[in-house]
């Protein structure tokens, strides 16, 4: 009789280390490059083991941009040691060492949910570049960051999108002290990592829409 596949919950109970960031960082470490000391920094920025599984599936160019941007801001925001540049570049390369198979595997949307007819905010937030942001739904509604608003943003510049997300959704704790007055969100706002995931999702929809327009007969 064939074994019955474990559900994600059963797998996590049987293999609790699968939910551990420390276990994942040890899995990534290679050639004497130890990432475990940076665990507090990564957790402060919004990383989890499940999110890192999702990020394995990101475009490598996007992944590198996001990780470098996070690292530039790390010392001022969190007080944790920053990764030296050479360690950061190894960290980016070693993402490929993360095991993203099995019951806990994360799948990215095959096409942009923002371009699907009648998509709801709840459905969109369920998979934002592999991140489940459903718990942030009240924040999006309170900030009037609706699906319709994000669809209108597809005609904006990258800078305009970044500024809108930062102003309305990013938790002020993740901003420099000199810029905290720009954010309207105090407590339970998006982390910097979540902000980048949302921006990538919107930009991906923009690129997909442009390709579809070019292909239109």
Structure tokens at 142: 């309170």
pLDDT digits (tens, 9 = 90+) for 123-181: 999 999 999 999 999 999 999 999 999 999 999 999 999 999 988 898 877 766 555 55
Name the least confident of 106-120, 155-169, 192-206.
106-120
Give the model's pLDDT for residue 40: 86
Residue 137, sorted as left (phi over 0), alpha (psi -120 to 50) or beta, turns out to be alpha
- Residues 6+ positions from 121 with CB-CB distance below 8 Å: 137, 140, 141, 146, 147
Euclidean distance between CA atoms 90 and 31, whole angstroms: 10
Phi first, then psi: give them for residue 14, nearest 5 degrees: -75, -35
Q: How far is CA 161 from CA 2, 64, 102, 188, 200, in A?
A: 50, 19, 35, 20, 10
Quick one: CA torsion of 208, 126, 110, 21, rounded to 10 degrees?
Answer: 110
Structure tokens at 63: 């992944």
Give the model's pLDDT for residue 131: 94
Band (pLDDT 50/70/90 cuts) for residue 192 is confident
Q: Taking the alpha carbons of 154, 169, 191, 8 in that order, is the dihedral positive or negative? A: negative
Band (pLDDT 50/70/90 cuts) for residue 213 is low
Structure tokens at 92: 């980016």
């Amino acid at each position: 009789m064939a074994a019955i596949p474990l559900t994600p919950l059963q797998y996590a109970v049987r293999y609790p280390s699968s939910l551990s960031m420390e276990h994942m960082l040890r899995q990534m470490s290679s050639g004497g490059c130890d990432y475990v000391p940076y665990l507090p920094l990564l957790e402060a920025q919004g990383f989890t083991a499940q999110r890192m599984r999702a990020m394995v599936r990101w475009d490598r160019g996007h992944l590198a941009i996001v990780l470098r941007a996070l690292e530039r801001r790390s010392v001022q925001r969190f007080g944790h040691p920053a990764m030296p540049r050479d360690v950061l570049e190894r960290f980016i390369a070693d993402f490929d060492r993360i095991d993203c198979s099995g019951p806990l595997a994360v799948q990215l949307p095959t096409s942009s949910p923002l371009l699907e007819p009648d998509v709801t905010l709840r459905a969109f937030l369920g998979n934002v570049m592999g991140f489940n942001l459903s718990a942030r739904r009240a924040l999006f509604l309170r900030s009037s960051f609706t699906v319709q608003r994000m669809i209108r943003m597809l005609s904006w510049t990258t800078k305009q999108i970044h500024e809108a997300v930062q102003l309305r959704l990013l938790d002020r704790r993740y901003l420099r002290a000199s810029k905290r007055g720009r954010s309207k969100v105090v407590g339970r706002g998006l982390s910097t990592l979540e902000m980048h995931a949302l921006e990538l999702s919107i930009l991906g929809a923009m690129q997909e829409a442009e390709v579809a327009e070019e292909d239109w007969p």
